[in-house]
Amino acid sequence: MTDIQPPGSHHETDVVIIGAGPCGIFAVFELGLLDVKSHLIDNLDKIGGQCAELYPDKNLYDIPSRPALTGQELIDDLMKQAEPFNPSYHLNQLTSEIILEEDSIIVKTNANTSIKCKSIIVAAGSGCFVPRKLPITNNETFENKNIFYSVKKRQDYKDKNILIAGGGDSALDYVLGFKDIAKSITLIHRRKEFKAVQDSVNKVMTMVDNKEIDFFMSTVKTMAGTADNKVNIELNDGTILKDIDAIFPFFGLKIELGPIADWGINLDKNLISVNTESFETSVPRIFAIGDICYYPGKLKLILSGFHEASLAAKKIFHYCYSDKKYVFRYTTSSSDLKKKLGVE
Protein backbone atom coordinates (compact mmCIF):
# COMPACT_ATOMS: atom_id res chain seq x y z
CA MET A 1 0.00 0.00 0.00
CA THR A 2 1.33 3.43 -0.98
CA ASP A 3 2.42 5.49 2.05
CA ILE A 4 1.18 9.04 1.43
CA GLN A 5 1.96 11.21 4.41
CA PRO A 6 -0.26 14.06 5.63
CA PRO A 7 1.15 17.60 5.50
CA GLY A 8 2.60 19.20 8.59
CA SER A 9 4.33 16.06 9.83
CA HIS A 10 7.92 15.57 11.00
CA HIS A 11 10.16 12.73 9.87
CA GLU A 12 13.70 11.41 9.81
CA THR A 13 15.08 9.32 6.96
CA ASP A 14 18.24 8.70 4.94
CA VAL A 15 17.41 10.51 1.70
CA VAL A 16 14.82 13.04 0.59
CA ILE A 17 14.04 12.82 -3.10
CA ILE A 18 12.55 16.00 -4.53
CA GLY A 19 10.37 14.87 -7.40
CA ALA A 20 8.21 11.74 -7.63
CA GLY A 21 8.61 11.19 -11.35
CA PRO A 22 10.17 8.10 -12.97
CA CYS A 23 13.76 8.97 -12.03
CA GLY A 24 12.84 9.78 -8.44
CA ILE A 25 10.90 6.53 -8.02
CA PHE A 26 13.70 4.47 -9.58
CA ALA A 27 16.15 6.11 -7.16
CA VAL A 28 14.06 4.62 -4.32
CA PHE A 29 14.78 1.16 -5.77
CA GLU A 30 18.52 1.74 -6.20
CA LEU A 31 18.85 3.23 -2.72
CA GLY A 32 16.75 0.47 -1.19
CA LEU A 33 19.10 -2.20 -2.50
CA LEU A 34 21.75 -0.48 -0.37
CA ASP A 35 19.54 -0.29 2.76
CA VAL A 36 19.04 3.45 2.28
CA LYS A 37 15.51 4.69 3.09
CA SER A 38 13.72 7.41 1.14
CA HIS A 39 10.98 10.01 1.35
CA LEU A 40 9.74 11.75 -1.81
CA ILE A 41 8.29 15.26 -2.10
CA ASP A 42 6.34 16.45 -5.14
CA ASN A 43 4.40 19.62 -5.86
CA LEU A 44 1.83 17.65 -7.87
CA ASP A 45 -1.14 15.96 -6.21
CA LYS A 46 -0.23 12.61 -7.74
CA ILE A 47 2.78 10.33 -8.09
CA GLY A 48 4.46 10.20 -11.48
CA GLY A 49 5.68 13.66 -12.47
CA GLN A 50 5.28 14.61 -16.12
CA CYS A 51 4.36 11.03 -17.06
CA ALA A 52 1.26 11.12 -14.87
CA GLU A 53 0.42 14.80 -15.38
CA LEU A 54 1.00 15.36 -19.09
CA TYR A 55 0.80 12.02 -20.89
CA PRO A 56 -0.66 9.26 -18.71
CA ASP A 57 -2.43 7.71 -21.73
CA LYS A 58 0.28 8.45 -24.30
CA ASN A 59 2.69 5.72 -25.38
CA LEU A 60 6.42 5.87 -24.67
CA TYR A 61 8.61 3.98 -27.14
CA ASP A 62 12.12 4.44 -25.76
CA ILE A 63 11.97 2.51 -22.48
CA PRO A 64 14.37 -0.47 -22.63
CA SER A 65 12.64 -3.88 -23.01
CA ARG A 66 9.21 -2.26 -23.48
CA PRO A 67 8.29 -1.65 -27.14
CA ALA A 68 5.43 0.54 -25.98
CA LEU A 69 3.81 1.52 -22.69
CA THR A 70 1.88 4.52 -21.47
CA GLY A 71 3.25 7.09 -19.06
CA GLN A 72 0.95 5.80 -16.32
CA GLU A 73 1.94 2.18 -16.96
CA LEU A 74 5.59 3.14 -16.56
CA ILE A 75 4.85 4.85 -13.24
CA ASP A 76 2.77 1.91 -12.01
CA ASP A 77 5.62 -0.50 -12.82
CA LEU A 78 8.23 1.69 -11.13
CA MET A 79 6.10 2.02 -8.00
CA LYS A 80 5.69 -1.74 -7.86
CA GLN A 81 9.46 -2.13 -8.25
CA ALA A 82 10.10 0.33 -5.39
CA GLU A 83 7.36 -1.13 -3.14
CA PRO A 84 9.64 -3.52 -1.17
CA PHE A 85 11.48 -0.49 0.22
CA ASN A 86 8.38 1.29 1.61
CA PRO A 87 8.98 4.84 0.40
CA SER A 88 6.89 7.66 1.89
CA TYR A 89 5.35 10.28 -0.40
CA HIS A 90 4.59 13.91 0.44
CA LEU A 91 2.33 15.17 -2.37
CA ASN A 92 1.00 18.60 -3.28
CA GLN A 93 3.93 20.13 -1.41
CA LEU A 94 6.76 22.36 -2.57
CA THR A 95 10.20 22.16 -1.00
CA SER A 96 10.60 25.64 0.46
CA GLU A 97 13.80 25.51 2.52
CA ILE A 98 16.82 23.39 3.32
CA ILE A 99 19.05 23.78 6.37
CA LEU A 100 22.54 22.34 6.00
CA GLU A 101 23.99 20.89 9.19
CA GLU A 102 27.35 19.20 9.77
CA ASP A 103 26.26 15.68 8.86
CA SER A 104 22.58 16.08 7.99
CA ILE A 105 20.08 18.27 6.14
CA ILE A 106 16.68 19.55 7.25
CA VAL A 107 14.18 19.78 4.40
CA LYS A 108 11.05 21.90 4.88
CA THR A 109 7.98 22.26 2.66
CA ASN A 110 5.35 24.94 2.18
CA ALA A 111 2.92 22.66 4.04
CA ASN A 112 4.96 22.72 7.27
CA THR A 113 6.40 19.26 6.71
CA SER A 114 9.93 18.81 8.06
CA ILE A 115 12.27 15.92 7.20
CA LYS A 116 15.75 15.35 8.58
CA CYS A 117 17.97 13.39 6.21
CA LYS A 118 21.57 12.64 5.30
CA SER A 119 21.35 13.50 1.58
CA ILE A 120 19.01 15.02 -1.00
CA ILE A 121 18.37 13.92 -4.57
CA VAL A 122 16.81 16.57 -6.77
CA ALA A 123 14.82 14.71 -9.43
CA ALA A 124 12.36 17.45 -10.21
CA GLY A 125 12.25 17.16 -13.99
CA SER A 126 13.20 20.61 -15.23
CA GLY A 127 11.93 22.21 -12.05
CA CYS A 128 8.38 23.14 -11.16
CA PHE A 129 6.16 23.02 -14.22
CA VAL A 130 3.61 25.82 -14.17
CA PRO A 131 1.04 25.92 -16.98
CA ARG A 132 0.88 29.07 -19.08
CA LYS A 133 -2.50 30.49 -18.22
CA LEU A 134 -5.31 31.67 -20.42
CA PRO A 135 -4.47 35.36 -21.06
CA ILE A 136 -7.71 36.94 -19.83
CA THR A 137 -8.14 39.23 -16.84
CA ASN A 138 -10.56 37.05 -14.86
CA ASN A 139 -9.11 33.56 -15.48
CA GLU A 140 -8.67 32.87 -11.74
CA THR A 141 -12.44 33.17 -11.28
CA PHE A 142 -12.96 30.14 -13.52
CA GLU A 143 -9.91 28.01 -12.72
CA ASN A 144 -10.80 24.50 -11.48
CA LYS A 145 -14.44 25.29 -12.25
CA ASN A 146 -14.44 25.76 -16.01
CA ILE A 147 -10.74 26.20 -16.83
CA PHE A 148 -8.53 23.16 -16.40
CA TYR A 149 -4.88 22.66 -17.27
CA SER A 150 -4.91 18.86 -17.04
CA VAL A 151 -7.41 16.01 -17.05
CA LYS A 152 -7.58 13.30 -14.40
CA LYS A 153 -10.51 11.31 -15.84
CA ARG A 154 -11.76 11.98 -19.32
CA GLN A 155 -15.07 10.31 -18.52
CA ASP A 156 -15.82 13.19 -16.14
CA TYR A 157 -16.45 15.25 -19.27
CA LYS A 158 -18.85 12.83 -20.95
CA ASP A 159 -21.55 14.71 -22.87
CA LYS A 160 -19.95 18.07 -22.06
CA ASN A 161 -19.27 21.01 -24.37
CA ILE A 162 -15.50 21.40 -24.46
CA LEU A 163 -13.18 24.12 -25.74
CA ILE A 164 -9.52 23.24 -26.35
CA ALA A 165 -7.05 26.06 -26.98
CA GLY A 166 -3.61 25.46 -28.46
CA GLY A 167 -1.77 24.00 -31.41
CA GLY A 168 0.73 21.55 -29.96
CA ASP A 169 0.74 17.82 -29.31
CA SER A 170 -1.17 18.11 -26.02
CA ALA A 171 -4.02 20.12 -27.55
CA LEU A 172 -4.49 17.76 -30.49
CA ASP A 173 -4.10 14.66 -28.30
CA TYR A 174 -6.95 15.91 -26.13
CA VAL A 175 -9.12 16.63 -29.16
CA LEU A 176 -8.62 13.04 -30.32
CA GLY A 177 -9.02 11.67 -26.80
CA PHE A 178 -12.35 13.43 -26.23
CA LYS A 179 -13.71 12.54 -29.68
CA ASP A 180 -16.05 9.80 -28.47
CA ILE A 181 -16.69 11.26 -25.01
CA ALA A 182 -17.62 14.95 -25.26
CA LYS A 183 -20.93 16.25 -26.58
CA SER A 184 -19.11 18.88 -28.63
CA ILE A 185 -15.49 19.91 -29.16
CA THR A 186 -14.28 23.31 -30.28
CA LEU A 187 -10.62 23.82 -31.09
CA ILE A 188 -9.08 27.28 -31.32
CA HIS A 189 -5.55 28.20 -32.36
CA ARG A 190 -4.07 31.52 -33.32
CA ARG A 191 -2.74 30.24 -36.66
CA LYS A 192 -3.49 27.53 -39.19
CA GLU A 193 -0.16 25.74 -38.72
CA PHE A 194 0.20 23.29 -35.81
CA LYS A 195 3.31 22.27 -33.88
CA ALA A 196 2.28 18.66 -33.45
CA VAL A 197 2.86 15.22 -34.88
CA GLN A 198 1.67 15.28 -38.48
CA ASP A 199 -0.49 12.20 -38.02
CA SER A 200 -2.43 13.97 -35.25
CA VAL A 201 -2.76 17.11 -37.39
CA ASN A 202 -4.15 15.05 -40.27
CA LYS A 203 -6.69 13.30 -38.03
CA VAL A 204 -7.89 16.54 -36.42
CA MET A 205 -8.18 18.35 -39.78
CA THR A 206 -10.22 15.43 -41.10
CA MET A 207 -12.55 15.85 -38.11
CA VAL A 208 -12.85 19.56 -38.96
CA ASP A 209 -13.60 18.81 -42.62
CA ASN A 210 -16.24 16.27 -41.57
CA LYS A 211 -17.75 18.82 -39.18
CA GLU A 212 -17.15 16.50 -36.21
CA ILE A 213 -15.53 19.43 -34.36
CA ASP A 214 -15.49 23.22 -34.78
CA PHE A 215 -12.23 25.03 -35.48
CA PHE A 216 -11.60 28.75 -35.19
CA MET A 217 -8.34 30.47 -35.99
CA SER A 218 -8.59 32.85 -33.05
CA THR A 219 -7.98 33.34 -29.32
CA VAL A 220 -10.14 33.95 -26.25
CA LYS A 221 -11.04 37.60 -25.65
CA THR A 222 -13.54 37.46 -22.77
CA MET A 223 -15.36 34.90 -20.66
CA ALA A 224 -18.56 35.23 -18.63
CA GLY A 225 -20.24 32.72 -16.34
CA THR A 226 -23.82 31.56 -16.67
CA ALA A 227 -26.42 30.64 -14.05
CA ASP A 228 -25.91 26.92 -14.71
CA ASN A 229 -22.12 27.00 -14.13
CA LYS A 230 -21.23 27.12 -17.81
CA VAL A 231 -19.41 29.94 -19.59
CA ASN A 232 -20.01 32.06 -22.67
CA ILE A 233 -16.84 32.97 -24.53
CA GLU A 234 -16.09 35.74 -26.99
CA LEU A 235 -13.19 35.14 -29.35
CA ASN A 236 -11.02 37.89 -30.78
CA ASP A 237 -12.55 37.35 -34.23
CA GLY A 238 -15.99 38.17 -32.82
CA THR A 239 -17.23 34.57 -32.57
CA ILE A 240 -19.43 33.84 -29.55
CA LEU A 241 -19.29 30.35 -28.04
CA LYS A 242 -22.18 29.62 -25.67
CA ASP A 243 -22.70 27.10 -22.87
CA ILE A 244 -19.13 25.80 -22.69
CA ASP A 245 -18.62 23.41 -19.77
CA ALA A 246 -14.83 23.14 -19.76
CA ILE A 247 -11.89 24.98 -21.30
CA PHE A 248 -8.50 23.32 -21.65
CA PRO A 249 -5.72 25.79 -22.51
CA PHE A 250 -2.58 24.04 -23.76
CA PHE A 251 -0.03 26.80 -24.22
CA GLY A 252 2.85 24.82 -22.79
CA LEU A 253 4.48 24.97 -19.39
CA LYS A 254 6.76 27.51 -17.79
CA ILE A 255 9.72 26.03 -15.97
CA GLU A 256 10.59 27.47 -12.58
CA LEU A 257 13.39 26.16 -10.40
CA GLY A 258 11.70 27.72 -7.40
CA PRO A 259 13.61 27.71 -4.08
CA ILE A 260 16.24 25.34 -5.51
CA ALA A 261 17.78 28.36 -7.24
CA ASP A 262 18.55 29.86 -3.83
CA TRP A 263 20.44 26.88 -2.40
CA GLY A 264 23.89 28.02 -3.57
CA ILE A 265 24.15 25.19 -6.11
CA ASN A 266 26.08 25.85 -9.32
CA LEU A 267 23.63 26.24 -12.20
CA ASP A 268 24.00 26.14 -15.97
CA LYS A 269 21.15 27.87 -17.83
CA ASN A 270 18.57 27.04 -15.16
CA LEU A 271 19.81 23.46 -14.80
CA ILE A 272 21.90 21.98 -11.99
CA SER A 273 25.54 21.22 -12.78
CA VAL A 274 26.76 17.82 -11.56
CA ASN A 275 29.85 15.66 -11.77
CA THR A 276 29.27 12.50 -13.75
CA GLU A 277 31.01 10.18 -11.29
CA SER A 278 28.27 10.48 -8.68
CA PHE A 279 25.88 13.21 -9.91
CA GLU A 280 26.64 15.23 -6.81
CA THR A 281 26.20 18.98 -7.11
CA SER A 282 28.59 21.70 -5.98
CA VAL A 283 27.01 21.38 -2.51
CA PRO A 284 28.07 18.15 -0.75
CA ARG A 285 25.24 15.69 0.02
CA ILE A 286 22.96 17.23 -2.61
CA PHE A 287 22.59 15.28 -5.86
CA ALA A 288 20.65 15.92 -9.07
CA ILE A 289 19.38 13.40 -11.62
CA GLY A 290 17.04 13.41 -14.59
CA ASP A 291 16.13 16.39 -16.74
CA ILE A 292 17.07 18.93 -14.06
CA CYS A 293 20.79 18.08 -14.11
CA TYR A 294 23.37 19.17 -16.68
CA TYR A 295 26.71 17.81 -17.82
CA PRO A 296 28.44 17.71 -21.22
CA GLY A 297 26.70 15.21 -23.48
CA LYS A 298 23.55 15.08 -21.33
CA LEU A 299 20.51 13.50 -23.02
CA LYS A 300 17.08 14.20 -21.57
CA LEU A 301 15.92 10.60 -21.63
CA ILE A 302 14.27 8.64 -18.83
CA LEU A 303 16.81 5.85 -19.27
CA SER A 304 19.63 8.37 -18.71
CA GLY A 305 18.02 9.33 -15.41
CA PHE A 306 17.93 5.68 -14.35
CA HIS A 307 21.72 5.45 -14.91
CA GLU A 308 22.24 8.67 -12.96
CA ALA A 309 20.15 7.37 -10.05
CA SER A 310 22.34 4.25 -9.79
CA LEU A 311 25.57 6.22 -9.52
CA ALA A 312 24.09 8.74 -7.10
CA ALA A 313 22.96 5.89 -4.83
CA LYS A 314 26.50 4.55 -4.71
CA LYS A 315 27.90 7.85 -3.36
CA ILE A 316 24.96 8.38 -1.01
CA PHE A 317 25.64 4.97 0.55
CA HIS A 318 28.94 6.38 1.88
CA TYR A 319 27.16 9.35 3.48
CA CYS A 320 24.71 7.00 5.18
CA TYR A 321 27.19 4.27 6.15
CA SER A 322 30.58 5.88 6.48
CA ASP A 323 31.88 2.86 8.39
CA LYS A 324 30.90 0.34 5.72
CA LYS A 325 32.50 -0.63 2.44
CA TYR A 326 30.41 -0.41 -0.71
CA VAL A 327 30.13 -3.79 -2.42
CA PHE A 328 28.52 -4.00 -5.83
CA ARG A 329 26.17 -6.98 -6.24
CA TYR A 330 23.87 -8.27 -8.97
CA THR A 331 20.19 -8.87 -8.25
CA THR A 332 20.44 -12.03 -10.36
CA SER A 333 22.95 -13.71 -8.05
CA SER A 334 22.79 -12.04 -4.62
CA SER A 335 20.62 -13.93 -2.12
CA ASP A 336 20.60 -10.88 0.15
CA LEU A 337 19.21 -8.61 -2.57
CA LYS A 338 16.62 -11.21 -3.53
CA LYS A 339 15.42 -11.33 0.08
CA LYS A 340 15.09 -7.54 0.12
CA LEU A 341 13.00 -7.74 -3.03
CA GLY A 342 10.85 -10.50 -1.56
CA VAL A 343 11.64 -12.98 -4.34
CA GLU A 344 13.53 -15.50 -2.21
CATH class of 3-130+254-341: alpha beta
Q: What are phi and psi of 169, to 5 degrees?
A: -60, -45
Predicted confidence at residue 239, as pLDDT, reads: 93
CB 163 within 8 A of CB 142: no
CATH class of 133-251: alpha beta
Q: Determine how many CB atoms are found less than 10 A away from the CB of residue 112.
A: 12
Predicted confidence at residue 104, as pLDDT, reads: 95
DSSP 8-state assignment for residue 281: -
Q: Please list the rounded mean pLDDT of every run of 10 residues in the chain (344 residues).
A: 91 97 97 98 90 86 94 96 97 91 94 97 77 82 87 87 92 92 95 90 94 94 91 93 93 72 86 96 96 94 97 97 94 94 90
Predicted confidence at residue 278, as pLDDT, reads: 97
Predicted confidence at residue 176, as pLDDT, reads: 93
The separation between the first and the last C-alpha atoms of the chain, rounded to the nearest angstrom, is 21
Predicted confidence at residue 252, as pLDDT, reads: 73
Q: What are phi and psi of 330, to 5 degrees?
A: -95, 140
CATH 3.50.50.60 placement within the chain? 3-130+254-341, 133-251
Q: Determine how many CB atoms are found less than 10 A away from the CB of residue 182.
A: 22
Give the residue among 79, 72, 33 at the shortest CA–CA distance from 53.
72
Q: For residue 229, with 0-12 CB atoms within 10 Å meaning exposed, 13-18 middle and 19 or more buried, which class applies?
A: exposed
Distance CA 171, CA 248 (A): 8
